[in-house]
Amino acid sequence: MDNPVIIFGANYLGRSAREIFETNGNVVYGFLDDNRQLHGKEIDGLTVLGSTDDDGFLKLIGKKCEAFLAIDDNRLRKSLVKMLNEVRHVQPVNAIHTQALLASQVTLGHGNFIDAKVHVGVGVKLGSYCIVQAGVVIGAEATLADFVQVGAGSIINAGVHIGDEAFIGSGVTIVSGISIGKGARVGAGAVVIAPVKDGETVFGNPAQPVKR
């Protein structure tokens, strides 16, 4: 990647993504963030340039800059993906830490955040716009759909399928072959030994549905 990067989101995720890009030898042009109190200020020596809808900076994307979405709110993340696709005709780039280990045979989408010491096994299919935090292990032939978030230290064993927009907390273990439904949520530290339905929230060891 030759062009500099503009990072959407001046939060913990944006700061982490900036370090990933710079460690990989990429130039980061600045942050865009909708918190106007941050505009013009520096975070780790990098300026918050303006809002995520600032056309003065958006018009650079696709020509002179790439974009990365460092935002963990899926609703906002989706709207920004739509804007980049339809208005700028680009896809956000991936941020992959130099200490992440990806097998040579992995299918990878766009706009993913993959932090340090993530291990991705052979035959894994990782969709687009996912957030995979530090130390996650994704076993062979597992599938993660789009907008999935996985917390630090989770273990996703071989053949697991995780649906769109699912949230997997930190320190979760999902045994081989299990399916996690679209929009499902798995609480931190849970051990998942049975399928989780669409939109269901589970917690505990073994993981059980949370009654509402």
Give the per-residue pLDDT at 135.
Answer: 98
The stretch 123-134 carries a mean pLDDT of 98
Go through the domains of the chain in sequence order and give each one's CATH number. Answer: 5-92 (3.40.50.20), 94-201 (2.160.10.10)
Share of the chain above pLDDT 70, in %: 99
The stretch 180-205 carries a mean pLDDT of 98
Q: In this predicted model, what pLDDT tens digit does every residue of 19-47 receive, in sequence order?
A: 999 999 999 999 999 999 999 999 999 99
The stretch 180-199 carries a mean pLDDT of 98
Burial of 12 (0-12, 13-18, 19+ CB in 10 A): exposed
Which contacts (CB < 8 Å, 24+ apart) does range 94-99 have? 95/17, 95/20, 95/21, 95/68, 95/70, 96/20, 96/24, 97/20, 97/23, 98/20, 98/23, 98/24
Give the per-residue pLDDT at 212.
Answer: 67
Give the per-residue pLDDT at 121.
Answer: 98
Question: Mean of the per-residue pLDDT values for the chain?
Answer: 96
Q: Tokens standing for 37?
A: 């109190």
pLDDT of residue 63 exceeding 90, the answer is no
Q: Is 0.85 surpassed by the pTM of this model?
A: yes
